[in-house]
Homo-oligomer: A and B are copies of this chain.
Amino acid sequence: MSTALLTDLYELTMAESYRRHGKTGRAVFSISVRTMPAERNFFVCCGLDSLIQYLTSFTFSDEDIFYLRSLDKFTDEFLTWLSTFRFNGDVIAVPEGRIVFESEPLVRIEGSLPEVQILETIALNLIHHQTVIASKAARMIAVSKGRGLVDFGLRRAHGPEGGTYAARATYIAGFLGTSNVEAGRLYGIPVSGTMAHSYVLVFSSEEEAFRSYIKSFPIDPVLLIDTYDTMTGVATAARLATEGLPVSAVRIDSGDIASIVPGVRQYLDEHDQNQIRIIATGGVDEYDIDRWLKAGVPIDSFGVGTKLLTSSDIPFLDMTYKLVEYEGIPKSKTSTGKVTIPGKREIYRHYDTSGMMDHDEVVVETQGNLGEKLLETVILNGRPTGVDNSIQRSRGRFEEDFNRLPNGMKGVIQNRYRVIIG
C-alpha cells in the first residue's frame, strides 16, 4: 500500500492553493483531544513512533504522482513540488507511554503551511488510533490488580495492520504479551497462545485432545476446558496433572465466569492442583475484570480481545489537528461547540509532596518553567532528535506515570484530573 496518498484529498487541494496564493509561511498545528469521555479518566500517548517513521520516509512516488495527475485537479507546478517533497519541519510531542488529559497538546507539527497541512490526515490517524487503544488497555491494567493481561484481539481488529499497531499499544500500556505473531516479530512483544475449541473437537475425546496437546507442547500448556462441559473439562485436566503431566493453566471462554470459576478453583484445590492457574477469556472488558476481582472470583489472568482492540465503548476520541499559529500569530476558530485554543502551548505537570500527580497546566510557551515539561522535540528540521520511543522505553514511561497517577483515577468510575488552561 502506497503511503503518501493516505490522506484526505482536501489536504492536497489546500496545499496547492496555499502555494498559489503565497501562503507558505510557518504554521503550527496541534493535536489534542477536546473532551475527556465519561468512560475514561486519562489517555496514554501512543503512535508517535509510527508517525516519526512515516514523516522521515514520506515521499510521493512516480505512481502516486501519476494517479494525482489523472484526477485533472492539480497543476504541473504543484505535482513537481510534491514529487520532490520531504518533510523538513519540526515535531514537538509528548513521548509515547506518558499519561495525558483532555485539552493538552499531544503533538505539535511546525513547518511551512503546505507541508504541515498535507500531514493532517495521517498524523491524526496514527496518533488517534494508537492512543485510543493504549488508553483502553490502561483501564484494564488499572483494575486488574497485578493479574496478567494478554491481547487476543487480532481477529476482530479493524484490519490486520490496525490489529498489529494495537498489539504494540497494549504492550506499552502494561500488557504481558499478544497472540499476534506479526506483532511479536515486529516489536519483540512476547507471543502466547493456547488452543481453540476446534482442536478439542477433532479428537475422539476431550482427554485425547488434552493429552495430544501436552505431548506437542509440554512447556506450560494451557487447556481449554469448556468445549463440552466445564466441570468435566476441569476434572480431566486435574486427572492428567495428577498423573504427572504438565498442566500450567485452564482456560474458560464461555458461560457466567463469576459463577463457574469458583467451582473450578475449588475442584482443582481439592485435587491437589492449586498450582494450576485459571485464565478467563471471551468478550472480557475492564468492567468485567473489575467486577470479578472485587467479588473475589479467583481468576489468575485474562485474555482480552474484541472489546480491547476495537475500544468498543469509546472507539474514537474527539481528537483534532488544529492550526494554532500562522506566521507567529495565534489562530483559532469560533465554530459553535468547536472553539479552539490559540497559540503554542506547553504542558507543565505538578506533583504533590508524596510524588503523586496533582494537576497539569496548559500554558503558552513563553511563560517559563512551571513544573515538569511534557513536550519534547522529536523531529527538528526533518530529522529525528533521538528521543527514545522504542516499545520498551515507552512501556517504562507508562509504568512510571501510572505509579504516580492518583489511585482514584484508576477505577472504572469517572474521576477528573485537574487541567488548568492558562
The answer to the question of A13 belonging to the interface, with a C-beta cut-off of 8 Å to chain B, is: yes
Residues of B within 8 A of A331 (CB): 198, 201-202
Contact B161–A197 (Cβ < 8 Å): no
Contact A202–B155 (Cβ < 8 Å): no
Q: Within the complex, which residue of B1, B63, B154 is in contact with A164, where a contact is CB–CB below 8 Å? A: B1
The answer to the question of A81 belonging to the interface, with a C-beta cut-off of 8 Å to chain B, is: no
Residues of B within 8 A of A9 (CB): 179, 181, 184, 191-193
Contact B23–A156 (Cβ < 8 Å): no
Once A198-B323, A216-B17 are accepted as A-B contacts, the answer to whether A193 and B155 lie under 8 Å apart by CB is: no
Contact B164–A6 (Cβ < 8 Å): yes
**B-contact 0/1 string along A293-313, CB 8 Å cutoff:** 000000000000011001110
Once A8-B180, A199-B14 are accepted as A-B contacts, the answer to whether A159 and B162 lie under 8 Å apart by CB is: yes
Q: How far is the CB of A132 from chain B (nearest CB, A)?
A: 8
In the complex, what distance in Å separates the CA atom of A166 from the CA atom of B316?
15
Q: In the complex, which residue of chain B has the Cβ closest to the Cβ of A127?
A: B155
Contact A113–B7 (Cβ < 8 Å): no
In the complex, what distance in Å separates the CA atom of A388 from the CA atom of B216?
42
In the complex, what distance in Å separates the CA atom of A29 from the CA atom of B302?
26
Contact B23–A160 (Cβ < 8 Å): no
- Residues of A193-237 whose CB lies within 8 A of B: 193-203, 212-213, 215-217, 226-230
Q: In the complex, which residue of chain B has the Cβ closest to the Cβ of A162?
A: B159
Q: How far is the CB of A94 from chain B (nearest CB, A)?
A: 19
How many copies of the polypeptide does the oligomer hold?
Answer: 2
**B-contact 0/1 string along A268-309, CB 8 Å cutoff:** 000000000000001000000000000000000000001100
The answer to the question of A91 belonging to the interface, with a C-beta cut-off of 8 Å to chain B, is: no
Contact B333–A14 (Cβ < 8 Å): no
Contact B8–A193 (Cβ < 8 Å): yes
**B-contact 0/1 string along A6-23, CB 8 Å cutoff:** 111111111011101101
> Which residue of A122, A161, A181, A203 has the most chain B CB atoms within 10 A of its CB atom?
A181
Q: How far is the CB of A256 from chain B (nearest CB, A)?
A: 7
Residues of B within 8 A of A179 (CB): 8-10
Residues of B within 8 A of A192 (CB): 9
Once A2-B182, A202-B27, A202-B323 are accepted as A-B contacts, the answer to whether A195 and B14 lie under 8 Å apart by CB is: yes
The answer to the question of A126 belonging to the interface, with a C-beta cut-off of 8 Å to chain B, is: yes
Contact A335–B255 (Cβ < 8 Å): yes
Q: In the complex, which residue of chain B has the Cβ closest to the Cβ of A12?
A: B181
- Residues of A147-164 whose CB lies within 8 A of B: 152, 154-164
Residues of B within 8 A of A155 (CB): 8, 120-121, 124-125, 128, 321
Closest 3 CB pairs of A and B: A10-B193, A9-B193, A159-B162
